[in-house]
Structure 1
Amino acid sequence: MGRTRMAPHCTLSQVGWKPPPAGWRKLNVDGAANGSQCIAGAGGVLRDADSSWIGGFVSSLGLCSATMSELWSIYHGLKLAWKLGCRTLIVESDSQLTIQLVNNRMDPLHPYAAPLAAIRLKNAQDWIVNLVHVYREGNRVADWLSKHSLVYPYGMHELETPPNELLSLLQDDLRGTTFARSIVSPTTHP
């Protein structure tokens, strides 16, 4: 009997940010690491079903890896969402690796054990949190905030209102602007 093999198949799709369903909030997060200066940061934005800004954050993390910055972005975003009263939350990250790390059991000696434990403690609070992957085109605001965090002093900084430089990206999301992306998916061949 022959083996079935998977071959990649590319589909051109339109990708953009989508608001959460009524009654939910959406938190988009991202991490950034500047390899030349060895500094990292995180950023995120919390919006409602009307695409309205509820809150945002930037966090200058100091020295850490890109994956570590992605994990800390989830933690800081959860912390902010809880503080702002969100109890039904969709968290979107463009890092599939980070989502896998959060969703899988981890050895307590794993290099990412500290942020993973902090995230799990936040997730255990009395709320519903769904962590999902989104392509970078649907995460542009969080991507901008994470890169912008690198100019801030060390620590977490809450943003009650969006920076003026971010308004055009927020308007794109409000209008439902999409971007073409070639998405690779496996297809089965006998």
Structure 2
Amino acid sequence: MPIISRLFCHGTAIRRPLLQVLARNWHKEAIHVTWEKPEKGWTKVNYDGSCKCKTGNCSIGGIIRDHNADFLLGYAESIGRTNSTIAELAALLRGLEIVLENGWTDVWLEGDSKSLVDIIAKRKPIRCAKVQMHVERINLMIPEIDNCVLTHIYREGNRTADRFAQMGHQFKKPQIWRHAPPNEVLRFLHEDKQGKTVLRRR
């Protein structure tokens, strides 16, 4: 039986060229995203910011794990009204503060804002004074860590940090979890540790 060359939507014919475009978009190869463990002796910090578009209220969160993907620490807090860029920077800053407080020396920082990673890692120019202030603080803190790398990961691989950031909206004071994570992130922690791959559609 030949392939049907037209679809009918509300009485309007959609001809084959459009169908072929739709088919190509539907079957575009997905990106396989997997959270990766750090090397032995290293500590990994995943951070994220959350911004509610309607109110402008933002929160931050992050998670710190060892080379076995075992939970070491989680953090979350509300930071008031700002924008998503500042929220991402604030989440990274808080993660760096915790790293230095705990004396971790080999650290992998990872977030899902590529523009932020590019600004810091590639020293891209910044026009916003508030963003510049946060970046300068980050650039002063990173050299205090013996070995430190900063990388980007797609949001699908940063789900645990994202959940901490989402939780931050509900707290009036900064929250820290040590050794035992909250129930809200247990599923993501387990999936990350097992190396679960999440598909990201292009």
How big is the shift at 1:181?
A: 2.0
Is 2:152 the partner of 1:133?
Answer: yes
How big is the shift at 1:89?
A: 0.7
- Which residue is equivalent to 1:78? 96
- Which residue is equivalent to 1:178? 197
How big is the shift at 1:182?
A: 3.6
- Which residue is equivalent to 2:36? 18
**In 2, distance between residues paired with 1:109 and 1:35?**
20
**In 2, distance between residues paired with 1:179 and 1:126?**
31
- Larger relative strand fraction: 1
- Which residue is equivalent to 1:164? 183
Q: Which of 80, 89, 96 does residue 107 from structure 2 map onto?
A: 89
TM-score normalised by structure 2 residue count:
0.79
What is the correspondence of 1:24-173 to structure 2 with a 5 Å cutoff? Answer: 24-103=42-121, 104=123, 106=125, 110-154=129-173, 156-160=174-178, 161-173=180-192
Instruction: Give 5+ residue unaligned stretches, structure 2.
Output: 1-27
Partner AA of 1:141 in structure 2: T
SS in 2 for 1:153: coil
When residues 105 and 13 of structure 1 are mapped into structure 2, their CA distance, relative to the original with a 3 A threshold, is closer
How big is the shift at 1:120?
A: 1.2
**In 1, distance between residues paired with 2:126 and 2:35?**
34
Note the aligned Cα RMSD (angstroms).
Answer: 1.7
Q: Give % identity.
A: 27
TM-score normalised by structure 1 residue count:
0.84
Does the aligned pair in 1 maintain the 2:106–2:145 contact within 8 Å?
no
- Larger relative helix fraction: 2
**In 2, distance between residues paired with 1:81 and 1:22?**
17
Post-superposition Cα deviations, 1:32-84, rounded to whole Å, max 9, x if no partner, equal 00112221011100001111111111121101100110011111011112222
- Which residue is equivalent to 1:6? none
Partner AA of 2:167 in structure 1: H
Instruction: Give 5+ residue unaligned stretches, structure 1.
Output: 1-9, 184-190
- Which residue is equivalent to 1:186? none
* Aligned length, in residue pairs: 173
Partner AA of 2:93 in structure 1: Y
